Amino acid sequence: MKPGAKFEVINPPNSLAAKVSPHGGPSLEAVVREAEQALEDLQESYQLWVRQDLDTIFRLAEEAEADPGVASNRLQEIAQITHDIKGQGATFEYPLLTHLARSLHKLLVEVERSNDQMLKLVRLHADAMNVILKEDVRGASHQLGKHLVEMLNKAVDKVVGT
């Protein structure tokens, strides 16, 4: 701006305040209760969704194993599924699913080519997630679950080379 130039400040009208009542509406406690209830209602559905996702992972891994020509695409599909599980597990009280999905996702994203070792790790991760669901292991303090996650993380780190 040039020295001595004139300017004008324009304050737009606040029409939103006229449209929203300052009183009424649900209380914060009611909103939180409603959100918690919705999450609880989704809990059972979540277990079903993850089981379906795991069935899909097993199917895609079998296809990758049977036909190396489609392996890369199938592993990308598995990576997308694990990304979703990783993002949802802790929300639905399955933090070990989140850890396992994170480990598997790391493997799928960081290793450029599929190989037998990778496909075995895919199945092992999916098996471990199945066990977590079957045994309804919630929380992160389950000793066997923690040990399983640690072992699979070490295997992935070895394959990835970190």
What does pTM read for this prediction? 0.73
Instruction: Tell me, yes or no, whether 145 lies in a domain.
Output: yes
At 7-53, the pLDDT tens digits run 888 888 888 767 766 677 788 888 889 888 887 888 878 889 999 99
At 78-127, the pLDDT tens digits run 999 999 999 888 888 889 999 999 999 999 998 877 778 889 999 999 99
Instruction: Tell me, yes or no, whether 1 lies in a domain.
Output: no
- The total of structural domains in the chain comes to 1
**Greatest C-alpha distance within the chain:** 77
Instruction: Tell me, yes or no, whether 23 lies in a domain.
Output: no
The whole-number pLDDT of residue 1 equals: 62
Query: How confident is residue 162, by pLDDT bands cut at 50, 70 and 90?
Result: low
Closest by CA position to 70, among listed 104, 124, 114: 114
CATH code, domain with 118:
1.20.120
Q: With left for phi above 0 and alpha for psi between -120 and 50, is residue 4 left, alpha or beta?
A: left
Instruction: Tell me, yes or no, whether 14 lies in a domain.
Output: no
CA atoms of 49 and 29, how far apart (whole Å): 29
Instruction: Tell me, yes or no, whether 133 lies in a domain.
Output: yes
**Which single residue is written with the structure tokens 């640690």?**
150
Expressed as residue numbers, the domain containing 40 is 32-160
Instruction: Tell me, yes or no, whether 99 lies in a domain.
Output: yes
